Structure 1
């Protein structure tokens, strides 16, 4: 399936997972968080997957990281993004582009603090066969 570059870029955003450490436990996505496959293609040893992620009001992705970079566009709502220091590293309203770097040093969570659903088009660029995200424990933040 050929996905036009413009559509791929417009349809790119992410939601995610975290580093497991100590006695902390992975945090699953909140109730109602869902994903719909839009398209996928493998080129060499890289998987390109475009998904639509929906995060209901008051819910979150759970702490995680990705094995490859992610690119996303907020189609609806506002995504609040936090890093492993518990600091906000971005607030992304409709039309914003989000880029998430790869690796366990980039643990994060996406939260919907608004009154309507957040809808993201996310492009995952992953090593062939890698999961969309790797679960991580809450690094000690007072939320999630």
Structure 2
């Protein structure tokens, strides 16, 4: 026995099945801007902690993308000026060359670094992370009008 299903019913059914399989819509993380790079300078594991020194470069007009870290970070601005924004969409610091920056750990500390200047921002950053943790955890834009 052959069952005929009208095209409109078949299309609607396929959309519903696709939505169910896909699950609820998720907020998407914001990727770093074009040209944002990281270079490994040194790495050492002591006990359950990874200590990693990286050089981060953010070209003019670009940003890191919204993220947080599983452990604290300590950095020095080697060139340019870093504009730092909290998840409240308000600047929580402007760091010119020679400045020291500290970022606390955890998902309650979502932030974004932006280069609003005309020269590359170069940072040397020490990551102090639980062994095996990623350098950062992506986070969606918290509703700020910029990335």
TM-score by length of structure 1 reads 0.84
Task: Report what 1:47 is aligned to.
Answer: 50
Q: Which runs of 5+ in 1 are unaligned?
A: 1-21
CA distance in 2, matches of 1:23, 1:112: 28
Structure exhibiting the larger radius of gyration computed from Cα positions: 2
Task: Report what 1:8 is aligned to.
Answer: none
Q: 1:56 aligns with which of 55, 59, 72?
A: 59
CA distance in 2, matches of 1:40, 1:25: 30
Matched, 1:33 2:36: yes
- Structure having the higher helix fraction is 2
Q: 2:98 aligns with which of 95, 99, 104?
A: 95
SS across alignment from 2:107: coil
TM-score by length of structure 2 reads 0.82
CA distance in 1, matches of 2:59, 2:144: 21
Which of structures 1 and 2 has the larger relative contact order (alpha carbons within 8 angstroms, sep 6+)? Answer: 1
CA distance in 2, matches of 1:61, 1:67: 16
Q: Which runs of 5+ in 2 are unaligned?
A: 1-24
